[in-house]
Amino acid sequence: MEINGVIVPSLTFFDENQNINNEVQSLLIKHLLINGADAILLLSLIGEGLLFSDDIEQTYNLIDLTYEATGKKTPILLNILGNDEENRISKLNEFGKKYSNLAFVLPPPLYKKYSSSELISYFENIFSSINIKNPIILHNNPIKFHENELTPEIVTKVREFSNMRGLIDDFENINYAKFYSSIISDKFSIFCSNEGNFQKYFQIVPPEHHKTSGIVPSISNLVNLCSKIYYCALEEKLLELHQYQDDLNDLHTKIYDPKIDLGKVRRGLKYAFLYLYKDILSTPLKYNYNISPELQRDLDDITIGRINATINYLINQKYIYKLYSLGKQQIYQLNDIIKIFSDVKVLLNQGKIKKIIGPYSANFNTIYRVNFEKSKILFRFRTSEYFRSEEMIKEKLIFPLLDGTINSSVSNFREIIKPFLRSNKGEYIFKENKPPIIPVSNLLYYDETKEKIPYNFSIQEYIRGKSLNEILGESMNFSKSKFLNLFYNIGDILGKVHSIEFNYFQETLYDIAKEGTDNWLDIFEPQLHIEIQELRRNKFDIDKELSKYFKEHESLIMDDQTPVLIHNDFQLTNIIGKEESGKINITGIIDFDDWSIGVKAQDFVKLYFLTFNVINNPDILNSFLSGYKNHHTIEPDFDNKIKLYTAFWLLRMLNYESLKKENEKPLISRSYSNETAYYLEELKKIISN
């Protein structure tokens, strides 16, 4: 393969045991490719070459992983570091025989100063002793390699060997640079490694040789700017080349960590890359952020803030092309996504994609906001590892209930709902003369076939505004009339949802067309039993007290015999609002994952626990209840019912947190998380009173 253009010295991600992190490393390689890498250099100095140079098995793993991620379509170079001639000869022969397409980079000795004549003998001995045909490129950087400088005399002498195919140089010595540029040919290439000298390098190298030469930028682990620089050199666009060089110089102060010079490139780039893909990676950022131990240091808050802001700016400027994930294994480029959904009719008249934002954080889904020329749309993909039983887009069943297309209490309801249940592709657009009883967005398209991608997905209109959790978080005074009106409207919306009654209970909405039960205890008791058994398995010591609590309050469960539609995750995070003219208008209700047929008190749990108990403002609570009373009567023991279902929710959260713990990496502590300890303490408070 021809080696030219942008050679990226790849970072190497590894854990605290110095095992390469295959997930992050594979993602990095794919990121390099979409951001313009023409070749990839492994185990350079910024790629932890010193740390892994003698670990043959890890090096094999890294090479194999890189070939797999590139599809063997991109040249790969391996840096061979060291002092001992025999050791380097052995490595060249071993890796060259195993990987016939692998190229090598060979720097001077690392720990000992040699004279020019000694360096000539050193390299001649290596080149004459190897029995492979792989191309080898020398690397001149006296500062990094114990002041061993590869002069034109040395390079000319070593060029006599057929394996010797080029030189990486910092282009600081203008006379050396002019000489090297004069001997470029189809068998000898020159590459500039100093990011500050790229413009100067392309001015020295004759234009006819730009296609057989290139640059070696560390910053290309993150951005595509150097690919743009190389393109400008090929097209002889000198003004743009100058501008891109200025932008590149500016990035060094914003991305690299300046506090300590040694390791600053690695620290800055590793953090920046992990921040860019923090929502895709399965392990938290802090467990991947390792560099050679002697260079390790935590970034300060100012540096972190600067890098975060720079990343967002670079994405907007299209100096970073980002990969997108559906689940943890499926990684897509923007062009892939456009191709996958190119036949969805509702998208064809939206114009070109301008921006993809996300993934948004969600427990069970991967969510992206896509800005088209004419509209903004949400893509929602069911990708959870913990909620595999959900094989349905629930909106297709809920929306016909919200606008009255289907009457949930008629005797033949089960037959009416079956066509909706069976459909695995479609849409649900509300008509102007038949709006839903609560504000929700149109379901523009849904697909449960898993033909395009291995997940159920839906496409919905984007609801403008912010979650009420964000809006209320910006205020300290909840006594204002706008907040009283807001909570009155929240209560009114919940009351409207609970006005949709059914003739029977079901364990899940998926069973809506099956025969149900008119006894709520038949549904609740088995669920409670499963959760308590799981609690016992997780070795929480309150299972007996919990069983006793629910048994003593069984009358509250048996008293609830009216099946209603419930949101089951009704909290401020899932209510979108927009503040206009001194009012907060509710623009949409979101998150249909947990909607089911249950009892009214279940839907009060999260508002009480997460909002009313925290705000502790009786006016706000009374305003909410007034809105709800437009549709329903509040019974005297309703607060006790809310407390009981709060205990059940806390029980489920304890078990859910334990399930997540089991699936995390072994290096993460198995002790209680802060969330687990909090849920456990709150549950104990309820059952002890």
Domain 5-237 has CATH 3.30.420.40: no
DSSP-assigned beta bridge partners for residue 428: 443
CATH class of 468-688: alpha beta
Residues of the chain with pLDDT under 50: 388-389, 664-672
Residue 291: name the closest of 109, 52, 79, 111 by CA.
52
666-689 confidence digits (pLDDT tens): 333 334 457 888 889 999 999 987
DSSP-assigned beta bridge partners for residue 370: 356, 377
Give the whole-angstrom CA distance, residue 575 versus residue 489.
Answer: 11
Looking up tokens 């279902």 gives 645
User: Which structure tokens are listed for 602?
Assistant: 């279940």
- Strand, helix or coil at 104? strand
Report pTM: 0.74
Q: What is the DSSP secondary structure assignment for residue 322, as one 8-state letter?
A: P
Phi, psi of 347 (to 5 degrees): -90, -15
DSSP-assigned beta bridge partners for residue 244: none
Specify whether the CB–CB gap between 520 and 608 falls below 8 A: no
- Cα–Cα distances (Å) from 462 to 67, 261, 433, in that order, read 40, 46, 21
Burial class of 107 by CB neighbour count within 10 A (0 to 12, 13 to 18, 19+): buried
- Going by C-beta distance under 8 Å and a sequence separation of 6 or more, which residues neighbour residue 387? 363, 364, 593
Q: Quote the pLDDT of residue 220.
A: 96
Q: Quote the pLDDT of residue 20.
A: 92
Q: Quote the pLDDT of residue 121.
A: 93
Q: Quote the pLDDT of residue 567.
A: 95
145-180 confidence digits (pLDDT tens): 888 989 999 999 999 999 999 999 988 888 888 898
